[in-house]
Chain A
Amino acid sequence: MMRIYAAELLKLRTLRGPWGFLIVSIGLAALFTAGSIGGTTEAARLEERYQFRLILDMAFPTGILSLLLGIILFTNEFRHGTIARTLLVVPRRWCLVVTKLVTGATSGTVLELAALGTSFVMAVIWLRALDIPLEGRDIADGAARSLVAVVLAGVLGAALGGAVHSQVGALVGALVWMFVVEPLCWVLLGLLSLDGVAEYLPAASLGGIIDTEDQGLPFAGSVGMTIAWIGLLFVLALLRTGRRDIT
């Protein structure tokens, strides 16, 4: 299992795409951090939990990148026909699905650590120049929450890729779900006075982990619900990948 995991990581390292994701992740972290510090008034910077929000804001784009990379690392196998060779090495398909999910978690971790590092270095330099003391506890809290969210996004993406197999279908489906279907669900459920139900939807659960306003589910509930969605997709991925004929 460890050999297969190492091989999956080598697959990522030997393609340009994942490196592109890493560069974009660092770039967006820099952009969001600059926007959060430079585009805020001095009074806002001194507000309570400002540095917590500063770190968490950056988790949103990194989370989306992690989700997309998770999808790609699984669906690439079907898009480029490499799944046959992969299954010759890993004929026990559940083993491949589990390894892909772990790889999704790893790629999410790498993206988030790079983004966090970028954001942290910029924040330290910038805030010190503005004579604003660093709130270590807030930063650590924000970093931990964002790391959890981005890692789970990577796993969710890999599970979705394993359940759908079509790269275009999974990528478009995930984005349409996040930005069209789920907001529509929020509106419809609101009209039916069922707002609370919408908090349990996949994007809302994942978003709840990095929610700075504490409007939806609590942190633990959001993590639990996201893991439940991952569990559902994992089962679908096992069934789909396990039964599919590779022709």
Chain B
Amino acid sequence: MIEVQGLTKRYGPTVAVQDLSFTVTAGRVTGFLGPNGAGKSTTMRAILGLVRPSAGTTRVLGRPYRELDGPEKRVGALLETFDAHPGRSGRNHLRVLALAGGIPRSRVDEVLALVELGQAGRRRVKGYSLGMRQRLGLAAALLADPEVLVLDEPANGLDPQGIRWLRDSLRSLAAEGRTILVSSHVLAEVAQTVDDVVIIHRGRLVRQATIAEVEALAARATLVRSPDALRLVSLLTGAGVEATAVGEDRITAHAPTERVGEIAAAHGVVLHELTAERASLEEVFLELTGEPGERGG
């Protein structure tokens, strides 16, 4: 479990995170979402003890990260900035981490194979592509087979196959009861992976909800095409549904398709079309963060 309580972080006059509170529960994948500069990375670094909060607390498995016994074995992390020495091979990078963490050396080759860097592991990191660097970072995060995973933009640089592998891996790790916090600036990117979302903007919490609740926000209206549109409008209005004629044979009704269809059927109104209008998850995200048109990151 990860708990963030009243977290505030200031860098001089700039407030990166303000009074942020949320909880990440075990056995679920939690998406940590927000546009560029929202404070995601700062929050994750505060969780990992790399950034000192100006106020508030962060706890991992019930304790501040710095006070955990053997944190390298219990918490795996991937940070947005690459953290391997360019002159060292990927394999040696993991060997150093394994040695420091008291993790068996055999695990190094296992995780290299897991992220499909087996052969490339012997090459120096400075020759790695962005995707390979990301895979090496994921290998480092998974090295100790940890109970908690904190992953900052893990899909960056991964090809579609890699993203699919990441998605499946996270789902399977969560199914084993692990706690997973994964940040992204693209809601649609993590929608298929996460169970819960924490959305922040300008350092403040916008919403913590399940992904199903966020998807429900995407439901907009029902579009109806009928040769008897005007009659249907009055029938819907009479049934308490807000409905507007938008053309000779078109109606927009603010109710689920099922309800509109049932009312039409009950009164013998012929329908030529009955379509649910939905916003994209990205539109929902932009609405929640209050800045339509802004590209997140």
Q: Using CB atoms and an 8 Å cutoff, list the residues of chain A in contact with chain B.
A: 3-4, 6-7, 10-11, 14-17, 76, 80-85, 87-92, 243, 245-247
With known contacts A7-B99, A14-B88, A89-B101, A247–B42 Cβ distance under 8 A: yes
Distance A3 CA – B102 CA, assembled complex (angstroms)? 7
Chain B 78-105 interface residues, beta-carbon cutoff 8 Å to A: 79, 81-89, 92, 95-97, 99-102
B100 touches A82 (CB 8 A): no
Please, which residues of chain A bring their CB within 8 A of the CB of B41?
247
Closest 5 CB pairs of A and B: A7-B100, A85-B83, A246-B50, A14-B92, A91-B66
Distance A65 CA – B99 CA, assembled complex (angstroms)? 27
B81 touches A11 (CB 8 A): no
Determine how close the nearest CB of chain B comes to the CB of A22; give it in whole angstroms.
16
Determine how close the nearest CB of chain A comes to the CB of B83; give it in whole angstroms.
4
Does residue B140 face the partner (Cβ distance < 8 Å to A)? yes
A84 touches B83 (CB 8 A): yes
With known contacts A10-B95, A15-B87, A81-B81, A247–B45 Cβ distance under 8 A: yes
Q: Which residue of A lies closest to B16 (CB)?
A: A247
Given contacts A3-B99, A14-B95, A15-B88, 7 further A-B contacts (CB under 8 A): A11-B88, A15-B85, A88-B48, A88-B72, A89-B71, A89-B97, A91-B66
Can you sample 23 A-B contacts with CB below 8 Å? A3-B100, A4-B100, A10-B92, A10-B99, A11-B85, A14-B95, A15-B85, A76-B85, A80-B84, A84-B45, A84-B83, A85-B83, A85-B84, A88-B48, A88-B71, A89-B101, A91-B49, A91-B65, A91-B66, A92-B66, A245-B11, A246-B50, A247-B50
Q: Which residue of A lies closest to B67 (CB)?
A: A91
Distance A245 CA – B48 CA, assembled complex (angstroms)? 11
Determine how close the nearest CB of chain A comes to the CB of B43; give it in whole angstroms.
12
B85 touches A87 (CB 8 A): no
Q: Which residue of B lies closest to A80 (CB)?
A: B85
Distance A14 CA – B117 CA, assembled complex (angstroms)? 19
Please, which residues of chain B bring their CB within 8 A of the CB of A90?
100
Distance A7 CA – B94 CA, assembled complex (angstroms)? 11
Distance A6 CA – B105 CA, assembled complex (angstroms)? 13
Q: How many residues of B contact A (CB 8 A)?
A: 35
B82 touches A89 (CB 8 A): no
Q: Which residue of A lies closest to B53 (CB)?
A: A245
Q: Which residue of A lies closest to B98 (CB)?
A: A7
Does residue B52 face the partner (Cβ distance < 8 Å to A)? yes
Please, which residues of chain B bring their CB within 8 A of the CB of A17?
87
Does residue B68 face the partner (Cβ distance < 8 Å to A)? yes
Please, which residues of chain A bring their CB within 8 A of the CB of B85?
11, 15, 76, 80, 82
B51 touches which of A10, A89, A246 (Cβ 8 Å) = A246
Please, which residues of chain B bring their CB within 8 A of the CB of A15?
85, 87-88
Which of B81, B88, B100, B140 has the most CB atoms of chain A within a 10 A radius of its CB?
A: B100
Distance A92 CA – B77 CA, assembled complex (angstroms)? 17
A245 touches which of B52, B72, B100 (Cβ 8 Å) = B52
A3 touches B101 (CB 8 A): yes
Please, which residues of chain B bring their CB within 8 A of the CB of A4?
100
B100 touches A81 (CB 8 A): no
